[in-house]
Structure 1
């Protein structure tokens, strides 16, 4: 019996269609080619209003609470946002303000972002890593940054970007595996990498 990795992806884009969501889907496709995954994609362009008026977690709707629980219970998080005023979107941060402070300890997180040009690529290091460091999550060694020219009609068309995605996943898989319960490895057929 093989183990299916519970992957939750969060796209912080406030628009649809979205290059950020297209990037997340591409990452999920590449990851799915590497191992068995069960995917839940949270698009803030669709669910964001469920979070926007709340000041604390007990004010959230049932739909928003369910999404937070999925984030907290994932085996792997993939988080992405467009660069907006030198950071991730405010709604992206607002959603993670509701996540339990200790719910992401040792959880692997693949960081991704989109922006107009390469000038914004350091968002991964200067915005995302500190946020997930607060949660004591394990950010994977390589994040994925994509610029506008990597897309055509909201689809990834850059082979260089596809290679960066593959490299990020390849370099991150050992951390993902190390984060899983050791009893999954008692049977050597449980996880196929």
Structure 2
């Protein structure tokens, strides 16, 4: 496959640095080794002020518009959030509240989350999948979840997590190779 794929990575953490960003960074690095991608990063921690003050799309902060347009024009979304009280962060959800509800139909979405313990891993299936189902996006079958033990200074270091990343990327690669075969 020779064309470049537009990827938007949304890190829902309210902190900088964050383990969520570390997980997403490791994922993107592995994806870049396998596909030609153009990455647009959205770190909720960096846009929190403009995001919190934007109640509707029509009155959204001008600084948010490029991020919203990037999401709406993405060919792949990688979305991750830390777990707060069994769900994603409020500002992560608010960002997607401002996205055109028809823009993500059929767009593949790779889900990721970080949390303090294994009991929070269900956030992927019980919170993130339903959010993207509303948009009629194509959530990919493998989500990535990592606990605090998988990191050293916000960098992913657990070898088992790198294996999970490789497994999670298989459907991504299949999705784009199949689309390229159909186009040819």
- Do they fold alike, i.e. is TM over 0.5? yes
The Cα offsets for residues 93-128 of structure 1, whole Å up to 9 and x where unpaired, read as 000001111100000000000000111000000000
Q: CA deviation at 1:170?
A: 1.1
Give the secondary structure class of the aligned counterpart of 1:87: coil
1:107 corresponding residue in structure 2: 107
The aligned length equals: 184
Give the secondary structure class of the aligned counterpart of 1:62: coil
Tell me whether 146-155 or 174-183 shows the greater mean CA deviation: 174-183
Q: CA deviation at 1:177?
A: 4.0
Q: Indicate conservation of the 8 Å contact 1:6/1:74, yes or no.
A: yes
Tell me whether 42-51 or 100-109 shows the greater mean CA deviation: 42-51
Q: CA deviation at 1:54?
A: 1.7
Q: CA deviation at 1:173?
A: 2.1
Give the secondary structure class of the aligned counterpart of 2:33: helix
| Counterpart-to-counterpart distance in 2, 1:133 and 1:177 | 23
Q: Indicate conservation of the 8 Å contact 1:106/1:179, yes or no.
A: no
Q: Indicate conservation of the 8 Å contact 2:53/2:61, yes or no.
A: no
Q: CA deviation at 1:171?
A: 2.9
| Counterpart-to-counterpart distance in 2, 1:146 and 1:39 | 22
Change (3 A) 1:179 1:124: farther
Change (3 A) 1:175 1:69: same
1:125 corresponding residue in structure 2: 125
Q: CA deviation at 1:176?
A: 3.8
Give the secondary structure class of the aligned counterpart of 2:127: helix
1:91 corresponding residue in structure 2: 91
The Cα offsets for residues 106-164 of structure 1, whole Å up to 9 and x where unpaired, read as 00000000000111000000000001001000001100001000000111110000100
Runs of 4+, deviation exceeding 3 Å? 176-183
Q: Indicate conservation of the 8 Å contact 1:86/1:123, yes or no.
A: yes
1:53 corresponding residue in structure 2: 53
Q: Indicate conservation of the 8 Å contact 1:75/1:180, yes or no.
A: no
| Counterpart-to-counterpart distance in 2, 1:97 and 1:158 | 34
2:148 paired with 1:148:
yes
CA RMSD of the aligned region, Å?
1.5
Give the secondary structure class of the aligned counterpart of 1:122: helix
2:166 corresponding residue in structure 1: 166
| Counterpart-to-counterpart distance in 1, 2:51 and 2:112 | 22
